[in-house]
Amino acid sequence: MATLHGIAVSKGVVIGRAIVFDAGSRRMPRRTLPADRIDDELARFEAASVEAVDSLKRAHETAREEMGDEAARVFLFHLGMLQDKELVAPVRKMIRNQQVSAEYAVSEIFGQWERRFAASSDSMFQTKADDVRDLADRLVSTLLGETQGTIGDLTGMVVVGRDLTPSQTIEAARAGAAAIVTSLGGPTSHTAIVAKALHLPAIVGCSGVTRTVQSGDQLIVDADKGTLLVDPDEETLAEYAHIIEQRETYHLTLDEIAGLEAQTSDGVSIGLHGNIEFPDEISDVLRIGGSGVGLYRTEFLYLTSRTEPTEEEQYTAYARCVELLDGGPLTIRTLDLGADKYTQSREEIPERNPFLGCRSIRLSFHRIASFKTQLRAILRASRLGPLRIMFPLITSIEEFRRARLIVHDVMEDLAEEGQPITQTPPIGMMIEVPSAALLSEQFAREADFFSIGTNDLVQYTLAVDRTNERVAHLYQPTHPAVLQLIRQVVAAAQNHKVPVSCCGESAGDPEFALLLIGLGVRTLSATPDSIPALKRAVRSVDIRTCERIADKALTLDSAPEIATFIRDRARKIAPEAFDGRSDE
């Protein structure tokens, strides 16, 4: 039995047979054409482009029906690429100057862009390679007269490939695939977004999977943990069959508590909010028992388009959120672009270390016009219902004051245009770097609220890139230094009566949530599918028990020791609330 590890982007546990897809770009043979046929070949390319545009528009409409408006924006992104002169003009030039076939020119030019994307050191840049390949395959198929979407029945099978395009992911889901596993890809790739929207269990970035797995192999896909087991023994198969049964039973019981209050057994209310990328996710948040949105990641408005969204496009998205929440809390984070979330290709000189470079609020300051456009859209939406503005990666008091001042400048501009904002929305900040945590007492005098972002707080405190598999084991949310910083932030917030929440991945872990509640956090914001388990955990404990867990954890001196203690205590207190599946 072989065990491989990757990045879990859409949860689920599946047992099934593998079918290996060859998702590599097709290389067309070079054919030299007579000079008198070049104009006809250019016309053939133009006709194929028009047909591809029509096909993409149809795919967009179908995807809207199946996945919602926002996830379907993937196909609008592809439409934008097809109309990008920088991408398409070289194809026409190659056909004319080198007298080659249209399919060869598409294969070569798009292949060059794909390889350029894939070779980038920026992970967000790398994830665009599958979009280019998807578009190239669509064009070549059109030129060759092929019909897309004709794959056979995949019911119960696990699709494995070097990478899958968004179109292939949709086709696999329609054909009945139970899960997908790829050796490339990241959590923000369009393929990952599509898989999540389709609720198709998926693991990406699973290094070596195409070398290890062959069609017909028995696989266990543990997309909760990002683990792939190849040719498991009978004992392991039986164990995972039991896990799948446990998950099904557990999720049925979670459905039963969706409408109940998120209160501890001694009556203390805990806010359970959702982290979202798209407005349409709000319906899921509310359906499964969440009461609001604690983190709206607005950068996905940018990542699903080749051009910056206009003020109206942003306003429409924010207004939709307010409408769907119908008075419920909404926290909009301003752009957190940069590092792994932004293609350094847009920079004249790419940064060598973008995680420590011009990202998040720094990038907003660098691009004031774009920052003001976003703030205009947010402030206009604030007239429709309650929302809060949250700044990412604040490291100093000066940064927070500057960002807040820009908000007030934009409010003045709107007032002069006859669009006054009668009440300033609450303005808060992410606590996600050690400097912000250490200065939390000062920040608490000026910020309206805090949200602890454990993902970056752990990363920057421990100097660990959690996407780097060589050091990923050092990424430890239960590290004593991280817990000390969280305790300091919560204490400062309580001293100044500033609301404090936690919106990192750790907030969605029911066991870690008990620790956070014990430290004084009263609002947790997590992925929508984490909310039911969180609610069940919250309703199973009392505040004093959580405080005892936190007090004891703070006396321990290693992350593994703390993690083990929390897990053991949680399962001793309420085993039925923490046994949604077996652990190793």
Pick the closest to residue 290 from 329, 248, 250, 249 (CA basis): 329
373 vs 368: CA distance, rounded Å: 8
| Secondary structure letter of residue 27 according to DSSP | P
Beta strand segments in 322-452, E:
330-333, 388-391, 427-431, 450-452
Task: Please give the single-letter amino acid code of residue 182.
Answer: T
Q: Are 454 and 414 in contact (CB under 8 A)?
A: no
77 vs 441: CA distance, rounded Å: 44
| Secondary structure letter of residue 466 according to DSSP | T
The DSSP code sequence of 467-516 is T-TTTGGG--TT-HHHHHHHHHHHHHHHHTT--EEE-SGGGG-HHHHHHH
Which of the following is catalytic: 190, 206, 479, 546? 190
Which positions ≥6 away from 82 have C-beta within 8 Å?
49, 52, 53, 56, 88, 135, 139
End-to-end CA distance of the chain: 16
Which positions ≥6 away from 563 have C-beta within 8 Å?
476, 478
Which of the following is catalytic: 206, 321, 502, 503? 503
Q: Are 273 and 290 in contact (CB under 8 A)?
A: yes
Which positions ≥6 away from 500 have C-beta within 8 Å?
449, 450, 451, 452, 489, 490, 493, 494, 520, 521, 522, 523
Residue 190 a catalytic site member: yes
180 vs 210: CA distance, rounded Å: 12
Burial 28-41 (b: 16+ CB within 10 A, else e): beeeebeeeebeeb
Pick the closest to residue 519 from 446, 466, 450, 580 (CA basis): 450
Residue 206 a catalytic site member: no
| Secondary structure letter of residue 219 according to DSSP | E
Q: Sheet with 179-182: list strands edge to edge.
A: 2-5, 227-230, 218-222, 13-21, 158-161, 179-182, 202-204, 7-10
Pick the closest to residue 149 from 165, 172, 132 (CA basis): 172
Pick the closest to residue 380 from 333, 315, 326 (CA basis): 315
75 vs 365: CA distance, rounded Å: 31
**Token pair 């043979």: residue:** 29
Instruction: Please identify every residue annotated as catalytic.
Output: 190, 503
